[in-house]
Amino acid sequence: MTARVISWFSCGVTSAIATKLALAKYLGPIIAYCDTGSEHPDNKRFILDCEAWYGQKILVLKSEKYSDVWDVFKKTNYLAGVNGARCTTELKKLVRRKFEQDGDIQVFGFDNSEIHRAERFNLNNPEVITYYPLIEANMSKQDCLLEIQKAGIEVPAMYKLGYKNNNCIGCVKGQAGYWNKIRKDFPDVFNRMAVEERRLNVALCKSYAGDKKRKKVFLDELSPTAGKYADLDIQCGLFCGEI
């Protein structure tokens, strides 16, 4: 029996290019996307554009327990901590594990700067047969952005806004600079997360206090000038084409 090949598409440009490379290597791979319900609405457009480019539909998978990240926070009373982000576990990891089968070849979009992440994934998931086409091809996130542009596909809105990744809007793993950018671009999300922090008594960010030591700070106390977030540099180059 031939093993299934699953390319995990995340609406990030690296996973989009990894999927394109997987389509060239394997016959009939499944392209699967775990919908968290909390990403930018432009991702629906990006999925359609990529489907047209691939000549293949993308299979959308979703948690049966939770509708979006806010539903996870409400039902689990957990934002983030030493055990990581519960929303990632519930909306992505467990959805992936439910879909995967023994013997599947699973394609992930780690780029050439994320070899350590690929190695850690292999160490923590020894039962999974993995393929990392971007690492094999020595491709960076910038290379992937240029390839997307070369294909005539508009990059997802979060990249155009300067975000380094196309994650959920208001990622609990972000720090002060990121959250101050969210405050500017998505004030409703910022304010909603500030309320969740107080409800659960969990501060996501660390910021420098008067004694120059980094301390936990709630979003409703976060200085608008705290932290730094270097916007993603989207360039048009030779190709005019990103976990």
Q: Which domain holds residue 108?
A: 5-155
* 10 & 114 share domain: yes
* 61 & 100 share domain: yes
pLDDT (tens digit per residue) in 49-66: 999 999 999 999 999 999
pTM of the model: 0.90
* 190 & 150 share domain: no
Residue 17 lies in a domain: yes
Residue 227 lies in a domain: no
pLDDT (tens digit per residue) in 108-140: 999 999 999 999 999 999 999 999 999 999 999
* 13 & 103 share domain: yes
* 93 & 192 share domain: no
Residue 199 in this model has a pLDDT that exceeds 60: yes
Residue 20 in this model has a pLDDT that exceeds 90: yes
pLDDT (tens digit per residue) in 153-195: 999 999 999 999 999 999 999 999 999 999 999 999 999 999 9
Residue 170 lies in a domain: no
Neighbouring residues of 26: CB distance < 8 A, sequence distance ≥ 6: 5, 105
Instruction: Indicate which CATH number applies to the domain containing 102.
Output: 3.40.50.620
* 37 & 138 share domain: yes
- Strands 105-107 and 129-131, sheet pairing: parallel
User: What 8-state DSSP symbol labels residue 173?
Assistant: T
Residue 36 in this model has a pLDDT that exceeds 70: yes
* 119 & 195 share domain: no
Q: What is the mean pLDDT of the chain?
A: 91
CA–CA distance, 75 with 80 (Å, rounded to integer): 14
Of 102, 126, 155, the one marking the end of a domain is 155
Residue 162 lies in a domain: no
* 138 & 72 share domain: yes
* 37 & 112 share domain: yes
> Is-contact 194 202, C-beta < 8 A?
no
Q: Which residues pair with 207 in a beta bridge?
A: 215
* 9 & 41 share domain: yes
* 128 & 13 share domain: yes
Residue 166 lies in a domain: no
Cβ neighbours around 51 below 10 Å, total: 14
The H or E element spanning position 73 is: helix 69-76
Q: Dig out the tokens for 225 from the structure.
A: 């000038």
* 149 & 180 share domain: no
